Amino acid sequence: MAKLKAFKNRRQAGELLAERLDAYAGHSDAILLALPRGGVPVAFSISRKLNIPLDILIVRKLGVPGHAEYAMGAIASGGLRVLQQDVLDTLDISPAVVETITQRELREIERRERLYRDNRPTPSLHDRIVILVDDGLATGSTMLAAVQAVRQEEPKRVIVAVPVAAPDTCQKLAAEADEIVCLSTPSPFYAVGIWYEDFSQTSDDEVRNLLRQAGQ
């Protein structure tokens, strides 16, 4: 029997998330920070429905050599890095290898900042309600880096909002954020993409267009 999909696509997932975030609609202190690329169309739908400004926080997974999809950590804009020490120890990954991959991903963060931001300034997060949005969470390493990066700017509140997440990841992030909104926590989880009918890759152009529309 075919497994039922939770969401049609990222934009529909964002509309459903918006219903759970309705308490923040039009809140003058609230801001949505999407994790590109897949988090941007989700957050765009929330922004439109709740009249909350949209911006981005770029976070890159630090992939295990030879298995890039398997995270050994993550790094966020500004250079904050979170490492999965258990993965490093189990696979005996050296500090030199971690540093090489970190520098490569930092260069990609800088490229995306230039590409997506179009000279727009980075928003101030101090004393604001920051809602971090992605299209789903598997290990949660990228979102954990995002939460910790945002905390450095002393926001009033940090909320993690995602359509779908692994149950243990949701629990782990609940200890880090002030509030976590996960619409679906299926078990077994497998991967984010299988819970969408359409999980086609979000392009750089789509990210830029959505951010431009959100700013108008």
Q: pLDDT per residue over 105-129, tens digit each? A: 999 999 999 999 888 888 999 999 9
Asked whether residue 144 carries a pLDDT value surpassing 60, the answer given is: yes
Question: What's the whole-number mean pLDDT along residues 71-84?
Answer: 88
pLDDT confidence bin for 2, thresholds 50/70/90:
very low
Considering the domain delimited by 10-58+124-215, tell me its CATH architecture: 3-Layer(aba) Sandwich (3.40)
- Sign of the Cα torsion 120, 122, 126, 130 reads positive
| DSSP labels, 159-191 | EEEEEEB-HHHHHHHHTTSSEEEEEE--SS---
Question: What's the whole-number mean pLDDT along residues 165-181?
Answer: 94
Taking only the tens place, the pLDDT of each residue in 27-68 is 999 999 999 999 999 999 999 999 999 999 999 989 999 888
Q: Which residue type is seen at 38?
A: G
**Distance (Å, rounded) from C-alpha 17 to C-alpha 50?**
10
What per-residue confidence (pLDDT) applies to 4?
Answer: 59
Is 142 in contact with 134 (CB distance < 8 Å)?
A: yes
Q: In the chain, what are the domain boundaries? A: 10-58+124-215, 61-115
